[in-house]
Each structure stands twice: as structure tokens, then as C-alpha cells.
Structure 1
Amino acid sequence: MTRPKTPPDVLEKLAQKDPRTVGEHPNTPPELLLKFSKSVDRRLRESVAENRNTPVSILEELAQDDSSEVRRQVSGNPNTPISLLFKELARDASVSSAIAYRMSSNKYGKYPEGESILDILAEESTSSLETILQRLAQEGGEAARLFLARRFDLPANFLAQFAESTEIQVCEAVAQNLNTPVSCLEKLAQSPKTKVREAVAQNPNTPISTLEQLSKDKNYEILLQIAQKTNLSPEILEELAGSKSDQVREKAMLNPSLPKDAVERILCGEYATHYLKLNPDFLSRHPDSLAVALNHYAKSQFALVSFIALNQPQISQELLQEKSLSISWLERLAVAQNPQATQQILIQLAQDSNQLVRAAAKDKLQNFSQS
């Protein structure tokens, strides 16, 4: 079994014992793939031809290989340039059928469009690439259009053409394609089909304005994609961090672009606990934010919450002064116990009508006199 994380130096050692496995491995260094591509072992050359990380220059060499099996593997490699695929390999009688059936839908073990695609490739063998692609797009069937829409090097005019398609899978493939023009992504973002809009949200080239438009979408899968984007406006990201969906909220809360002031507002709201579970070291890294949150909770309508907050040393002097005059004896007690309470506040509280408050204040005043 291939281990994707195997480091290149380990692969070089393994190549001496099991070269075919190394030839298929995604981490195999280009220089080793080049060496294998010249091997007398046909199956080793096949493994290189199949490897998705094989450089184009090596694929171009293997497209001339004496073995039709090797050439067929090159035709199936998604990195093989579209010009090499349709202008050279498609002229190869032993390879063209593999290309045709790969572009055809498989229904009950049959390839209904395979023969017509094969005919197009044969008839247009000397035509320009543009002509071949146009015929495949128009006459090859939905499977052929889907195959082309997924191609990394399909010309932009064909991507724009497919973006107008009524075939949902084709539109989804265009929305996922990294070379799709921005104007097409903007149009596809308006699609009534969720899968298409989700694909637009995933595409790293989708402009911010379109992402922010999609952030208003009602579909949770789309919002999940948007919440992970680091180029959103702070306002949109904060809104997603308050989503009713736990998963959307989590992605937004883990987004490194979520601004600090937005986090402080979260810490003062209903999802404070959720945020701190996801980011347990935030307050230790931002003690000033802890002060903001404590000052908020010190004003809570729940006496126990305000009591706990007012006991913390990060509470501001202004709030300690304000709460020393509170009608709640529990809040005044917390002020009297706070290590940052000034001598002036303690002298005032030492005269308090509540016995516990007076005792706490007098005890702290003794510490002042002894220090």
C-alpha cells in the first residue's frame, strides 16, 4: 500500500528493492521518475506514466514509448497536456480507443458514446486542436463534456461555453476548475443547483465579492466552505462565527482571519464556551481580551456570574469603583476581595452595611497596613 507521507530519501532507498511501488508513489523525486522512465522494465515505465506527479517533459517522452501499454497510461494521466492527448496520442490506433472510452459514460458495462468519440478523433486527426475540442464538445455527449470541463488546460473559451450548460455535472466541473474565468464563477454562483454554488465556494479563485454573496446562502454545505476562506471581510466572518450551525460556526471560529475584536464580542456572547473549547490558549495569548470579557461579565444580571468576574484581578479600576456602590451586597463583597481594590475603595467598604463586606474590606486593609 502506498504511504503518501513517505519522505523522498526513504523512497530512494526503497527503489532498490521495490522500484514499481516507488514509481507510483506521489512523493517520488522527479530525477528518480526520469531514471525509471528509461528502464527496460515496461511495467516500471507504466508506473511512471501513471504517476500524477510525473513532470510533463517525462510524459512527452513516454508518449513515444515502444509499448502501447505505456502510451495508454500516458493518455490516462491528468497531467498529460490536452494538445499531446488529442494531437498525438489520439492518432495512435492502439491508444485512441482508450481515450474515447475514458471520455464516454459507462452504462451497464457499455460505452454508448465511445464509438462516436472514436470517429471524431479519427476524422479530425489532422485538424487543429480547437476544431477537435469543438466537435467533442458538441457531438461527444455529456460524458465527453464533463471530461473536458475537468481538464486543467482546457482553453478558457470552452470553459465559458460549458458554464452555460444545463448539465449540472458539467457546470460543477467548470466551477471547480482552477482556470475558469472569474466572470464564469460569478455567473455560476447564481446557479439554482446547490452543488454548483458549493463548487464555486470551494474554488480558490472565486472573488471576495462573490464569496460574500454566497455567505448569505441558506445551504449549510456552502457556508461551511465560505467559513474557511481567509480573505473574507471581518464582518462576514464574524457573522459566520455566530451561525446556528455548529460546524459552520466552528470553521469560522478556527479561521485565522477572524479579528481579535470579533473574538472579544464572541467571548461576551452565547458562543463563548464553544470558542474557548476550540481556542483554549486565546486568553493566555491575549490577556487584554480577558479583561474585556471579564468587564462584560461583571455587569451580568446573574449575581454569581458577576461575583466571579469581579473577583478577578483583570477587572478595570473604573468598574471596581462603580461596583463598590452596587445595590448587590454580593458584588460589593467581590470588590472587597479583589486584589486590585484600592485603599480608598476598601476604606469605604469597611463601613458597609453588610457584615461580610465589612469583614472582607477590613481584612484587606490590614494587609495594606502591613505591607
Structure 2
Amino acid sequence: MHHLLCGLAANPGLSSDLVDRLISIADDDIAADLAGRADLSRAQALALAARVGDSTVQLACEGRLAAADIDPCVWPDAALALLDQGAGREEWTRLFAADPVRERREKLAACPGLPSDVADTLAADPDAGVVAELALWTTPDVAARLAAHPHAEVRRAVACNEATPRPVLAALASGQGLPAARHCLVCDREETPFVHDPQCPRLDCDLPPGASCDGSHESTVHAMWEAALRNPATPVEAVVHFADHPSMLLRWALAARQDLPRQVCARLASDPAPGVRGDLAENPALDDALIRALADDRDPEVRRRLAHHPRVPLDVLTRLARTARIGATPVPRIAAASAAEIEELATSPDPAARMLVAQRRDLPPEIRDRLADDPDAKVVKALAPHPGLTEAQLRAMVDRHGVRVLAKVAANPDAPPALLEDLVRHEPAVQKVFREVARHRGATASALLVCLADTRARRVAAGHPALPPPVIAELLADADWQVVQAAAANPSLPPAVMADLVCRQ
């Protein structure tokens, strides 16, 4: 019954008086669905907040509760949620800065636009976690101050903050110009030297796996370097030396930077770690020579990611399409192709090139229609969901290529109801067709009834508004809770059935 009520709580056809009834019996799960309703009134939001206090955060985030509705002493998490959105009251910030609950001070520290006196209070907080949270989000001047904080965890957070001044980030990356840190999370809790067992059996231990300290806070310093490398505000000249660092994680972080000099890119292109080369492969800093070199990389994932490089030459991309699983989404280079390049690809004798351009969904009608008649099933499969194709074209695809294109034809937004009915009855059946038809806006009741026989499609079809109301009502007793919840949320569920279900409670 619980999943049924959660579905009803999300049903857009539920009347206002039934929403009120559900509010009166709501638990956390039902409240989550009620709070997401577009038609929830302010009075209902307040009633729901009074019934389920934990719903106040969601209600505040969705604009159902305003500052005037919230007492921060009663609903502190909701007040903090509004502060995080910049919609809270300034006096709340001073209240929470002195709150004895550390988690609330941490949440406050992440809020934007804190008054300077509140930021100063949080910067001096005795808990390093609170100060670190402030360091992640604070202004440049406060971040610069916190870079010299005695706790290494705070410095790591400063290195993440893109507002941190560039010279400060350079100092954190080099370790020069700042006093040595005196503490880290490891030596705060353990006798050093200490290395945290990745399989630590202690249930109350929250140290990261492998965290270590021999007095130099090495694991936290490593995390700080990685944060500085990933921070685009860190000057590139301060981090290029990490290209030869023994830590793969640091070289990996460096490979993603888009401001790398060519010589550093060349060094990373021969890195022994495929992950490093994979991140580099998508990096806009690569020149054509390095792109072509990586096209021959022995790792298929590196080649797949190279296909997503925004400037990969079309001839290289076509070659990659033959050897790497690029996926069905148009890669950036194809999405940005000119009209002349689209024509060139569409008329290429290489089916891999035609398949690439067929993935676009804005092809000129003459190119779209030409590719619809392509003899290669992979090309037709890529094109089949393209809008604008006629029923005759879609049926011809099925006649020529059968099960290889069936699911993609079913995904076409313009597939007519009669075709969808034929697709779900095709022999041999293709399971993915049922799921595509179950979510298709043009699916008819008869097609959806066939989809109900497939376990995964049944969960989708149960929520389709074209399903006959008596069938929806029957699905409320289904053995699969996901089917029950989808049926209960179906806007075509008869109002009388909704009322009966709510009134039983």
C-alpha cells in the first residue's frame, strides 16, 4: 500500500482535497512525492512541513516555503537551505555560526554571501571540517588567509576553490612560501606513522582508504596537489612538473587541464596509464599531430574518447568509428560539422562516415532521405530516430533490415500508432522495442497491452496515460512495486479509484 500512496502523491490528476488527505497521513516517502507537486499550495506546504519536518528542506528548495514561513530554531535545515539559495535572513547566519551542532556550521560555511563577521567566525572555528567547508566556497581574501591554516585539510579545500588567488594556488602546488601544516585528519586521530587499512573493520571510522601520515601529512598533501591540478585557476606553470610525478592520480589530473603546453601533452601522450592518455585524448589543448598519434593508441577506451575531441579531423574520426565503440550520441566534431562536411560524410563510400553523420537529428531533408535508403544497417539504425521520417520510410527500414533497426524505429518520435502496434507484434520479438513503445507518446492502448507482458516495459507502460483505466486499476495490485507506483501515478487513473484508495487509509 505504501508504494501505491507514493504513486498517488505524485499523480497530477489527484484533486486538492485528496492531496490534503494524503498530507494528513504522510510519512517521509509520501511527503517527498507531495513536496514535488507543481500544484501544491502554500497552505498545503505548511501543513506538510508540520506533518513531516524532514520535508521542509525539499519544500524550501522548491520555493514552497519562504523565509517568513520558517523559524530557524524549529526547522534549522530548511533555514539553511534558504540561506544556501541566497533567500534566507542575515540574522540566521549569526545564529548558525554559533550553533553547537557542527553539521549546521558546516552547512552555513557553504552558503554564498556570508557577512564578513560570520566568515571570520567560521574561519576561526575549532573544527577543521567547518573551516574546510568555508575554504571551499569563500571569497578570494578569506581563501588567501586560510591557505596558511595549520590544518592540511583546510589547505586542500583552499586548493579546490576557484576563487582562490592564482599566486596562492601556485604556492599550494609548489609547497613554497607557506608555513608547514601542523595537522591533518590522520594525525588528529592516530599515532604516527600511520597508514589507514583500506579494509578497516571499524564501523565508526571515516578516514579515507589509504590515508596516511608520517608527520608530513602526505595523503592530505597529495589530495591538495590533486585539487590544485584540477583547479583551472591554478597557473599552469606551477603544475607542469607533475607530468613526471610518480603518482598516476596526479598525472591524470594534469592531463585534463586545457591550458597545457604542447611538450607536456606530448609527455602525457606516452604515459603508461590508459586513464591519463584517455583524459588527454579529449583535451582541446592537443594539436593535430598528437591527435593522429593517439588514434593508434593500443587502448580502445583512449580511441573512443579521442573521437569526442572537438577538433578531431574527420578522416581520423571516420577511422576511429571503425575500431572504437563511439556510441549513439553525435560527437562534438560531428555536431559542429559544416554543411559541406555533412554532405561529404553523407556521400562517403565508407559506411562508418555515413553512420557518424546519420546520428545528427537536424539533417537537411534530402540528406536524411538519402540515408534512409542506405544499404548498410548500421547507418539506417543511426538514422532511424531522426524526426521527419515518414511511415513509409520507417516501414521500409524494417522490411530491409529487420530486427537490427526495430528498436530505433520504435524510438522515432514521429512513428505513427499503427506502426508501433506492428512493431510490438514483430516476429522475432526485440525486447527493447517494448520499452521504447511503452514510453512513446503515440503508443495506443493495444500496443501498451502487449508491452505489459515484458517485465521491464511493464513498469513504464503502467504510467502511460493511453493505457485503459480499468487496466491501470488492475495494475494497482501487481506483484511488482514499481508497476504499482507507476500505475498509481498515472493521470488516467479514474478519480473515483484515487478517492477510494486514499479514503481507505
**What is the TM-score normalised by the length of structure 1?**
0.52
The number of residue pairs the alignment matches comes to 263
Report the Cα offset of residue 195 of structure 1: 0.9
AA in 1 matched with 2:119: E
1:97 alignment partner AA: H
1:368 corresponding residue in structure 2: none
> Contact between 2:96 and 2:108, CA under 8 Å: does it hold in 1?
no
Equivalent position of 2:434 in the other structure: none
> 1:155: Cα distance to partner?
5.2
Contact 1:228 1:255 in 2 (8 A): no
Correspondence 1:145 to 2:195: no
Q: Measure the CA separation in 2 of the matches of 1:256 and 1:7.
A: 39
Q: Which has the higher contact order (CA 8 A, sep 6+)?
A: 2
Shift of 1:193: 1.5
- 1:107 is matched with which residue: 192, 197, 204? 197
Residue 168 (str. 1) matches residue 220 (str. 2) = no
Change (3 A) 1:204 1:61: farther
Residue identity in the other structure for 1:49: A
Contact 1:36 1:48 in 2 (8 A): no
* Alignment partner, residue 87 of structure 1: 148
Q: 1:221 deviation in Å?
A: 2.0
Q: Unaligned 5+ residue runs, structure 1? A: 119-139, 298-371
- Greater C-alpha Rg: 1
- Check conservation: 1:163, 1:184, Cα contact below 8 A: yes
**Deviations 1:57-93, CA, capped at 9 Å, x for gaps:** 9799256455423x52232554567744441353999
Provide Cα deviations, 1:33-68, integer angstroms capped at 9, x if missing partner: 9775434463544203246xx479979925645542
Contact 2:153 2:185 (8 Å CA) reproduced: no
Aligned CA-pair RMSD: 5.0
Partner of 2:62: 10
What does residue 282 of structure 1 align with? 363
Cα distance in structure 1, aligned partners of 2:359 and 2:118: 48
- The equivalent residue for 1:20 is 77
97, 121, 144: which one pairs with 2:183? 97
Amino acid at match of 2:224: F
Q: Does 1:184 align with 2:264?
A: yes
Mapped partners of 2:137, 2:93: distance in 1: 16
CA distance in 2, matches of 1:180, 1:106: 34
**Per-residue CA distance 1:286-342 (angstroms, 9 max, x = gap):** x2x368769998xxxxxxxxxxxxxxxxxxxxxxxxxxxxxxxxxxxxxxxxxxxxx
Are the equivalent residues in 1 in contact too, given 2:268–2:280 (CA < 8 A)?
yes
Give yes or no for contact 1:162–1:174 (8 Å, CA) kept in 2. Answer: yes
Correspondent of 1:75 among 104, 110, 132: 132
Q: Distance in 1 between matches of 2:369 and 2:266?
A: 43
Q: Please list, as runs of the form range in 1=range in 2, the aligned pairs for 1:96-135 lying within 5 A after superposition.
A: 97-98=183-184, 106-108=196-198, 109=200, 113-117=212-216
Counterpart residue number, 1:197: 277
Correspondence 1:1-371 to 2 at 5 A: 10-11=62-63, 13=65, 16-17=69-70, 20=77, 23=80, 28-30=84-86, 32=88, 37-40=93-96, 42=99, 43-50=103-110, 54=112, 61-62=119-120, 64-65=122-123, 67-69=125-127, 72-76=129-133, 78-79=136-137, 83-88=144-149, 90=151, 97-98=183-184, 106-108=196-198, 109=200, 113-117=212-216, 140=218, 144-151=221-228, 152=231, 154=234, 156-177=236-257, 183-207=263-287, 210-240=290-320, 242-247=321-326, 250-252=329-331, 255-268=334-347, 269-271=350-352, 274-275=355-356, 278-284=359-365, 287=366, 289=367
Following the alignment from structure 1 to structure 2, what is the Cα–Cα distance between the partners of residues 189 and 112?
Answer: 30
CA distance in 1, matches of 2:262, 2:145: 27
CA distance in 1, matches of 2:295, 2:342: 19
Partners in 2 of 1:227 and 1:33 — Cα distance? 49
The 1:31–1:148 alpha-carbon spacing in structure 2 relative to 1, beyond 3 Å, is: farther
**Does the C-alpha gap of structure 1 residues 106 and 177 become closer, same or farther in structure 2, counting only changes over 3 Å?**
farther
CA change 1:208–1:158 in 2 (3 A) is: same
Report the alpha carbon displacement of residue 170 of structure 1 after superposing the two structures with TM: 1.9
The separation in 1 between residues aligned to 2:372 and 2:214, in whole angstroms, is: 73
Contact 1:165–1:171, Cα closer than 8 Å, also in 2: yes
> How far off its partner does 1:96 sit?
5.8
Residues 1:31 and 1:259: Cα distance change in structure 2 (over 3 Å): same
Distance in 1 (alpha carbons) for counterparts of 2:211 and 2:353: 57
Contact kept in structure 2, 1:238 and 1:258, CA below 8 Å: no
Q: Give the secondary-structure state (helix, strand or coil) at the position aligned to 2:245.
A: coil
Segments of structure 2 that go 5 or more residues without pairing to the other structure are 1-31, 37-57, 155-180, 189-193, 201-206, 376-505
Distance 1:257 1:85, change over 3 A: same
Question: Aligned partners of 1:169 and 1:217: how far apart in 2?
Answer: 20
Give the CA deviation at 1:214: 2.7
SS for the counterpart of 1:38 is helix
Identify if the C-alpha distance between structure 1 residues 186 and 276 changes in structure 2 by more than 3 Å, giving closer, same or farther.
closer
